[in-house]
Structure 1
């Protein structure tokens, strides 16, 4: 799990959302329901809106500028053991 975007910069405001990038092992089975539940749980824990993205979706993005920005600035906050 990584953070990216304004949460890592000085322009983070009280009304800013928190941008989170997640990746899953290939052996992990998950779908839209689990993804939505994870987003909702993170929003409840953090008390803010969360923009939750998967690393795979960013890697497959055609917007290479956004892709590079996210992947180069993301900071790991949790790795499952």
Structure 2
């Protein structure tokens, strides 16, 4: 996991990766990429102590556009605690898989008023 996080951090320091993400994300809507890679996204979340991945935001509402990001809510597996390293690894691996910006959040990390909206519109991965 440290290697994955290190690669992600190193990749963010280079503009080439940012340009690649931007160019790729402009071609297809995130919802199309999300639907194509659902099983891989579930596997990534499970591998890093996460469970119950849900998409929310523009992708869940169906009003995403090329260039939109993907917002994910994840819970921790019962009996496990997800660290910031786990969340970062999930984020980096899904960004690498989809080639677009991703936000991986836990319900507890959201403000209460945003959490209500996010959980209401969330769709299971």
Query: What band does the TM-score fall into relative to the shorter chain?
Result: 0.7 to 0.9
The separation in 2 between residues aligned to 1:56 and 1:9, in whole angstroms, is 22
**How much is the aligned-residue C-alpha RMSD, in angstroms?**
1.5
Task: Select the structure that is richer in helix.
Answer: 2
Equivalenced residue count is 73
Report what 2:82 is aligned to: 30
User: TM-score scaled by structure 1?
Assistant: 0.78
Question: Which position in structure 1 is the counterpart of 2:116?
Answer: 68
Instruction: Return the structure number with greater relative CO, CA threshold 8 A, min gap 6.
Output: 1
SS in 1 for 2:76: coil
* Matches for 1:3-18 after TM superposition, within 5 Å: 3-18=55-70
Larger Rg: 2
- TM-score scaled to structure 2, two decimals? 0.53
Unpaired stretches in structure 1, ≥5 consecutive residues: none
